[in-house]
Structure formats: structure tokens, C-alpha cells
Amino acid sequence: MGGETMTIVRTGTSVAAIAAWLGIAGAAAAQTTIDMLHVENNPDAVALWEELAAEYEAANPGIDVNLEFLENEAFKAKLPSLLQSDEAPDIFYSWGGGVLDIQRESGALRPLTEMMDAEGGAWRNTYSEGAINGLSFDGDVWAVPYRTGVVAFFYNKEQFEQAGVEAAAIQTWDDLLAAVQTLKDAGLTPITCGGADKWPLHFYYSYLIMRNGGSAALEAAKSGAPDAYLDPAIVQAGEQVAELGALEPCQNGWQGSRWPEPLGDFADGRAAMILGFEDTNLDQISQATDGQGLAQENIGRFAFPVVEGGAGAATDTFGGLNGWAVTANAPDEAIDFLRWFTAPEQQRRQAETTGMIPVVAGAEEGVVDPLVRASAEALATSGYHQNYLDQDLGPNLGRTVNDVTVELWDGSTSPEDAAQTLQDTAMMEEM
């Protein structure tokens, strides 16, 4: 990566380390340090994590838990080299999918099956079978389930009212296109878009593939079925992405916007909608110019619309199953901390503070925000849930999905060429 300087923000510093640096007599350095790398930019979440780490350290003398932060794109770019170096964290945030599979195949990860199954499966049994299976490969568990979620639209109620748009009436893709045009006609920016990072736009392409082709189209593509990416449902999804892009729905400079800048646009009222995560209504506060953002009563939520005649159901969901992976040389203490950190009581506290949807049994009562609870209910009734394609398909094919989505959006490629590019990339991976 061209000698680029890497900056990791460390958000947890032990009292013992500070004392040692100051040369205070009698201060003892920690016997074991656990480095935990994450992408969380919500200050309330990080403050709670620091509180939890301090509680664990107090109960386990000689352990120093180091919380380390990297911005989302930097995290994805740096992690592969970190995992092959002496700088590898002990624990790191994972989106699962093909990327996690490649990491475990490289020998960078420590399998967690034995610990999960100890004591009659006491740890494993705190999770649903689906959560465990989603982070397992070849019979082994490779990450501890942490949170799940669903991508949906969030909207500014005042701006919708100003333009005369009814959110409840947006049921189909054509309804959404009509709403975008109505918002533009009212002099408003319909959608805030993260074009530089690309993955925020891949949500649209992925959802449209689901809505057009249903689970069958996605499962065929992921299984390597012949010409799966040339499926008419995928071509049609590309046509629809291009159709939305042609309306120019995004803010000025969207091509250079990096997450979480779109959150700031939404928080400051510069766009009427954002396609975001289950906790977007809460997360936008941290990116607001005034530190307060949109009032919660001014934010609404609606599911990604269906495509008329499509095979996908309105209840099919798209979003994440996130976990914590442990690196091959991590100490046993890292796993012990992770088991404690993801236990029901700690998960409940995190759900209350951050708006996440926990996956450990007994922590769901912590989901108190009404919009986050709506996401949780959508997941509970989902007939099919698809993980983020840019993670599920692995780094190469996932990156290609992101690339062609932006090219479809700005009109620099055709739906047929985008599908062919995906097919060519898939075939190269099979060689």
C-alpha cells in the first residue's frame, strides 16, 4: 500500500500503562494486553465500551483491554496486511461472509468451536442456530455473533410534508421514483448518497436483485451456477439503478462523499432520505453540525419497496450479521473477554445505548428505540435475509459489485455490461 502511514486511534488506555509511563512507583504493567479493533464511530457506544472494558479489567487484574478504531474504509483496506503482520489485533470486527471465509482460509483466525461447545454448549446455546451458522465454515465457528440489522429508508417527515409525499404510499419501486421526482420538484434533495465509498450505493443494487429475482437469483449466484450473474433479474436490477441515477437524486458532490458524510447531510436537513442501517436515526446525531441532528419525532422509516411482478417478497430483508473474530495468535484471555463482552447483560446495555439489535438471547429487551424496534420486528418476520453482498461474495467480487453499482448510477456502464462484468469476475475466481 505504497508506504502509506497507518493511524490507529486507541480509545482505551489502562491506568497501569499511564502509571508506568509517568514512572509512578509501584505501578505494575498489565500482564496481558487485548487489542480490539473496531469501526464504531458513535461516541456513546465507544464510551460504553470503555466503561465495560474498565469493569472487566477491574474484575480481572493483569488484563488491559485496548479499544482501537479505524474508519470503515481504512479498516477494510488495512486489515488484510495487519492480519499478516506482528501488528494484528487480537479481536476485530467482522461483517462475516466470504471475507471472513478467506481470512480463516489464510490461517489468520483462531477457530472458536471448542470454546463455544464447552460445558455442554453453554456459550453456543445463547445464540440462535442461524446466527452461529452465519459465521461458520466447514463445521467451525469463526466469529462470535454480535449484532444483526436490516437496511431501510429513513426520511425527514417535515420535508416529505413540504413536498406532499406520503411515506406510507411508497410501496413499489415506481412509487419511490415518483417520490424522488416530487421532492426534486419541491426544490429538495431527495437522497444523500455515499458515492466515494461505493458500498452505500450497493445497497440499492443488492435490494433490487432480491426484489426482482428473490432468494433463488442470489443463491444461484453465490453457489457459482453457470451464467448466474446474467440472470434477467440482475440485468433488470441494473436497469432500475440506472433509472434512479438518471433522476439525479443525490446531493451535489455525491461522487466524493464518504460515509459518514451522508449521515451529516441527513442530520443537517440537506436531504430528505437516506438508505441506512437499523440505527441510522440515532447515529445521525453524532454527525450533525449542531451535535443534535434531526429530532427523533421528525424521522420516519419505511422498508425498501418491492418491484411489481418481481419474485422477491416485501418481507425479504437485506443487512448485516456482524461478529467479532479472534486472530490466530490471540491469547486465551481475549476469548474470555469476548465471551463476557457479548453476554446477555452486556449486550442489553449496548442495545439500550447504541440502538443495535443484539443476537444473544435475553438481550432483546434492550431494544427500546421505536425505529430500531421496527427493524427488529422486520427481521423477526423475514422469510429470507441476505448479508451485505460486498462482504458475502468475498473481496474481489464484492468490490466489483460496488464498482458497477456506481457506474450504473452515473450512466458510465450499461446494465448488460455490469452483469457481464460480475459474471467474468465470478468465473475468474473459480479458475
Q: How confident is the model at residue 9 (pLDDT cuts 50, 70, 90)?
A: very low
Rounded average pLDDT over 194-222: 97
* pLDDT, tens digit (0-9, with 9 covering 90-100), for 10-60: 444 443 333 333 343 334 444 899 999 999 988 889 999 999 999 999 999
Cα–Cα dist 277/151, whole Å: 5
Instruction: Write the pLDDT tens digit of every residue in 348-378.
Output: 999 998 889 999 988 988 999 999 999 999 9
Whether 9-148+321-373 shares its CATH topology with 152-318+387-430 is answered: yes
Burial class (CB in 10 A: 0-12, 13-18, 19+), 261: buried
> What is the mean predicted confidence (pLDDT) over 307-318?
96
Residues 123-127: contacts with CB under 8 Å, at least 24 apart: 123/339, 126/343, 126/344, 126/360, 126/361, 126/362, 127/359, 127/360, 127/361
- Angle at the Cα of 18 (from 13 to 21), degrees rounded to 5? 130
* Mean pLDDT value of segment 108-137: 94
CATH code of the domain occupying 9-148+321-373: 3.40.190.10
Q: Report residue 292's pLDDT band, with 50, 70 and 90 as the boundaries.
A: very high
Q: In angstroms, what CA-CA distances link 400 with 11, 260, 296, 411, 422?
A: 33, 22, 36, 16, 7
β-pairing verdict for 32-38 and 385-386 = unpaired
Domain boundaries of the chain, sorted by first residue: 9-148+321-373, 152-318+387-430
Q: Provide the pairing of β-strand 63-69 with 321-326.
A: unpaired
Using the CB atoms, write b or e for 38-60: b if 16+ within 10 Å.
bbbbbeebbebbeebbeebbeee
Give residue-wise pLDDT tens across range 230-261: 999 999 999 999 999 999 999 999 999 999 99
Q: Residue 96 pLDDT more than 50?
A: yes
Mean pLDDT of the chain: 92
Question: Which one is predicted more confidently, 94 or 353?
Answer: 94
- Averaged pLDDT, 197-206: 98
Give the predicted TM-score (pTM) of the model.
0.86
> Measured between alpha carbons, how far is 361 from 125 in angstroms, rounded to an integer?
9
Model pLDDT, residue 42: 86
Cis peptide bond prior to 260, omega within 30° of 0: yes
CA distances from 235 to 242, 247, 311, 405, 419 (A): 11, 19, 14, 12, 6
d(CA 270, CA 262): 9
What class has domain 152-318+387-430? alpha beta
**Helix H or strand E segment including 317:** strand 317-318
**Residue 318, C-beta contacts closer than 8 angstroms, at least 6 positions apart:** 150, 151, 203, 206, 207, 210, 304, 385, 386, 388
Q: Is it the case that residue 196 has pLDDT exceeding 70?
A: yes
Q: What is the pLDDT of residues 53-89, one digit of tens each?
A: 999 999 999 999 999 999 998 999 999 999 999 999 9
Percent over 70 (pLDDT), the chain: 93
* Chain position carrying cell 416485501: 314
Q: What cell was used for 324?
A: 467479532
Model pLDDT, residue 271: 98
Give me the pLDDT at residue 88, please.
97
The confidence score (pLDDT) of residue 398 equals: 95
- Band (pLDDT 50/70/90 cuts) for residue 406 is very high
Rounded to whole angstroms, the Cα distance separating 209 from 388 reads 12
Task: Please return the burial class of 19, using the count of CB atoms within 10 Å of its CB with bins 0-12, 13-18 and 19+.
Answer: middle
What is the model's pLDDT at position 24?
Answer: 37
CA–CA gap between residue 122 and residue 407 (Å, rounded) = 48
Predicted confidence (pLDDT) per residue in 265-291, tens digit: 999 999 999 999 999 999 999 999 999
Q: How many CA atoms lie within 13 A of 134 on its CB side?
A: 27
